[in-house]
Structure 1
Amino acid sequence: MAVTLSAGVRGALTSLQSVTSQSTGIQNRLATGKKVNSAVDNPVNYFTAVGLNDRSSQLTGLLDGISNGIQTVQAASKGIDGITKLVGSLQSTIKQAQADAAQNRPTKAGTALATATEAAVTSKSLKDIALDKRITDNNAAVANDATATYSGNIGGPALAAGSESMTSIYLKSDTNTYTASFKSTTATVRDVVNEINKSGVATAFVDEKGQLNIKGNGSEEVQFGIDTVVFAPAAAGAPTQTEFDTAGTASATAAATATNDNTSFGFEADDVTAGSGITGQNITSSVRSNLIQQYNDLRTQIDELAKDSGFNGLNLLQGDRLTVTFNEKGGKNQSKMDIQGTNLTSDNLGIISANNTKITGFTNFQNDADLAKAGESLNSALTSLKSLSSTFGANLSVAQTRQDFTKDMANVLTIGADNLVNADVNAEAASLLALQTRQQLSQTALSLSNQADQGVLRLF
């Protein structure tokens, strides 16, 4: 049998059911934190939020790859920093070897240009006597030795009355050549020394034994030649005094009355077109020899350090290629950065091994020219390292920028999705509190309606 409810009870019951239903919905939103839990709640917001969250998850997943890429580039960058320091140490080694250059110069001494007898007569040192002697025989009628009143000469070509003389000097070291001619009618050994010292190819000095010494400025073999030519103004075709003084050199038509290779200096085959060799093959610097192993060890460490500059199986200093993906798309819409590494070795940097002799493909530490070339190679290596470091630095900056962007973009997508489906907890809590009050009121109204129906029972 159906029970008939009064209008008042039914109204109060309906209101109570509505409040209960709304309270259940609010409690569900508070429990899940979402106002849209399924497509039934709001299809547009639900599927939009799902799409945004999916993309955010994909971007977040790319962050690990970007992070690994950044670490790979940083590992290579640290490797370059270490190699740069090693190249700096190699430069120091080269400078140490070059600082010992004075011990590795080819030197040759001629014959003594002064005697003990001359020293006793003049009361001067053998060195000073030799420096003051003339290079031409201007006093043929008298002994050439120095006396108390005569400086002496080294026995060069004799000058007749009114004659002029010119001395030519030839020096060659490696590819550097120096030639000079000067009027030498009254010139002394000191003038020859000064002229040689102007060359930049070699230096000259007279030692305490009175010997002229030629010493190379570098470690290469030096060739030296000296000639003196005498011109008689009265000879046919000879230059005049004015022509001689102006030109400073003998013309092709000049008539030479005497020539001499100045063998009095003690150098064999002293010819101004070839010169005598002054070799330094038997001169070895022990300091330079001891630096060879140090140099080669540092060079080896460059190769070893480059091999150890990898990360997670990739080494940009060993020619590996790194690809860093920046977005979740594929094909032509994919955003990525490819970084091609380089095979960084001492050989590729132009740093060659060192040894103690002249062998093709090696740096001869006993040779100044080789040391200079090694220094230039190290400067070039530093330039290459700086360029490579700059390239990796730019790539690293891009990767770090994209990493920050990807993090921010993932957050933006997540926040956007949350705005569509997340519930306002404060508003929902306030609504629940209000519904609880309405529920109590509905229950009171239902109770009052029941009491009105019970009034019929008083009639019995």
Structure 2
Amino acid sequence: MAGPILSSGVRNNLLTLQQTTAQQNVIQNRLATGKKVNSAIDNPVNFFTSASLNDRSNQLTGLLDGISNGIQTIQSASKGIDGITKLVQSLQSTVKQAQADAAQNRPTKAGTALATAAEAAVTSKSLKDIALDKSIVGADALVTPATASSSGDLGIINTQTFLGLSITAGSTTYTASFSSANATVRDVVNEINKSGIATAFVDEKGQLNVKGTGSETVGFGFASSAVDGPTAISDAAGAATNDNAALGFSAGDAVVGTSSLTSSNVTSAVRSNLIQQFNDLRAQIDQLAKDSSFNGINLLQGDRLSVVFNEKTGTNQTKLDIQGSTLTADNLGISQAVNTQLAGFFNFQNDADLDKATAALTSSLTSLKSLSSTLGSNLSVAQTRQDFTKELSNVLTTGADNLVAADSNAEGASLLALNTRQQLSQTALSLANQADQGVLRLFQ
């Protein structure tokens, strides 16, 4: 059935009104969605480009969680190192406390008296001063007593022009040779004190005392020689060739002898009490390292961390791989403390072992600083990439929006103009209808 026949004016005005309404719908949709491109039909290039940019932005945003977890894992390990560093510093303090208390087990021995009461009566000096002032060599091989005018000597004939010392404590050996001319017991005492591994003094009884600075057995040898320094040192080290007896010692006290100066085995109660404290702190290093994990990854227990920075795969993927280290007291070179001399342990009664412990702890701190520096560098990289990823994601989103986003001001103005046009079209349509109504009045 055919529809009513419209006049040309009505038809044109109706078409214009329909077009205006369609344009209004388009603009209203843009204002409602905020986009000028809502489908590929609107603008294929901008639509698909925007979708691609948004897709990459979303992928990068998804990587931010992994980057954040990686940063927390690194920070957790870094905090663990900070804690372990404090424990090592506490260990250093414990060792210093032990060193502040004098060792009680140092090997020591006093020789027979080098001065007599008769000499004291003649010289009006103390036995100590008489012994210290005595010459080592004399005119013959007989001991010469001190007199009011002479200091006396130890009975070594003056043809022996060199004197030698050989002192051994543990793995350390000190040797020295010097001229015997005008040499006194005081010179020998001073030479022994230079060794650093033994000390010497003459007591009020006129006896020469030799004492180790640590708890290791001390081999002590003294000799005279007519040849040269090395020979004197060699003679001092031998039980059959030394002159220990001249100083009040026996040949058996020589470096290679069978009865060197040995530890008294008396332990310091203060040092003994510090052993448990040291070992407890040491055990906490292992425990703290085990607790420095985040989300199941512990860089202080040898775990590996991989932080991915982009959305690509294969060789185009960028990431940060961090191989952790197994951090334990043993790996840091910190041995357990004990009360006796045992291989692989720190003997707190031994000054030399305490020095070794100090050196080991200093080395441990250096290792911890190096590891902390490495983690700090990796943390800086991860944080930088995190900031970059956030900014890049924002750039991509902004770029995508610029391609499809509608200008609300422009669209609003266009809608206002279309509304005005619609009203005008409706008025024009009404006027066109009035012409038809004039024809109708002819039949009335």
Q: Normalised by the shorter chain, which TM-score bucket?
A: 0.7 to 0.9
TM-aligned CA distance change 1:387 to 1:183, over 3 Å: closer
Q: Which amino acid aligns with 1:8?
A: G
3-state SS of 2:52 partner = helix
Query: Which 5+ residue runs of structure 1 have no aligned equivalent?
Result: 232-243, 252-258
CA contact (8 A) 2:275 2:338 kept: yes
Q: Which amino acid aligns with 2:201?
A: F
| Cα shift at 1:260 | 7.9
Residue matched to 1:124 = 125
Residue matched to 1:220 = 216
Equivalent position to 2:331, from 329, 348, 369: 348
Structure 2 length normalisation: TM-score? 0.87
The within-5 A match list for 1:348-367 is: 348-367=331-350
Residue matched to 2:116 = 115
The within-5 A match list for 1:73-222 is: 73-101=74-102, 103=104, 105-136=106-137, 138=139, 144-154=144-154, 156-157=155-156, 166-184=162-180, 186-222=182-218
| Cα shift at 1:299 | 1.0
> How many Å separate the matches in 1 of 2:216 and 2:343?
16
Greater mean alpha carbon deviation, residues 393-402 or residues 114-123:
114-123
> How many Å separate the matches in 2 of 1:249 and 1:420?
94
Q: Which amino acid aligns with 1:191?
A: D
CA contact (8 A) 2:168 2:255 kept: no
CA contact (8 A) 2:53 2:396 kept: yes
CA contact (8 A) 1:111 1:264 kept: no
Residues 1:442 and 2:443 are matched in the alignment: no
- Superposed CA offset, 1:305-361 (max 9, x none): 101100111111112222222222333433333222222111122211111111122
Q: Which amino acid aligns with 1:314?
A: I
Structure 1 length normalisation: TM-score? 0.84
Equivalent position to 2:358, from 370, 375, 392: 375
- Superposed CA offset, 1:383-416 (max 9, x none): 3222322322232222222222222222222222
Residue matched to 1:41 = 42
Q: Which amino acid aligns with 1:383?
A: T
> How many Å separate the matches in 2 of 1:400 and 1:384?
24
The within-5 A match list for 1:40-59 is: 40-59=41-60
Residue matched to 2:383 = 400
> How many Å separate the matches in 1 of 2:141 and 2:331?
67
The within-5 A match list for 1:12-31 is: 12-31=13-32
Residues 1:312 and 2:295 are matched in the alignment: yes
3-state SS of 1:343 partner = coil
| Cα shift at 1:185 | 5.7
Residue matched to 2:309 = 326
TM-aligned CA distance change 1:21 to 1:262, over 3 Å: closer
Q: Which amino acid aligns with 2:77?
A: A
Query: Which 5+ residue runs of structure 2 have no aligned equivalent?
Result: 233-240
Equivalent position to 1:279, from 258, 262, 266: 262
CA contact (8 A) 1:168 1:272 kept: no
CA contact (8 A) 2:298 2:324 kept: yes
TM-aligned CA distance change 1:388 to 1:64, over 3 Å: same
TM-aligned CA distance change 1:178 to 1:260, over 3 Å: closer
Q: Which amino acid aligns with 1:89?
A: S
Pairwise CA RMSD: 3.0
Greater mean alpha carbon deviation, residues 329-338 or residues 96-105:
96-105
Identity of aligned residues (%): 71
- Paired positions, count: 433
Q: Which amino acid aligns with 2:208?
A: L
TM-aligned CA distance change 1:305 to 1:5, over 3 Å: same
TM-aligned CA distance change 1:217 to 1:273, over 3 Å: closer
Q: Which amino acid aligns with 2:99?
A: Q
Equivalent position to 2:248, from 247, 266, 274: 266
Greater mean alpha carbon deviation, residues 352-361 or residues 304-313:
352-361
> How many Å separate the matches in 2 of 1:354 and 1:291?
9
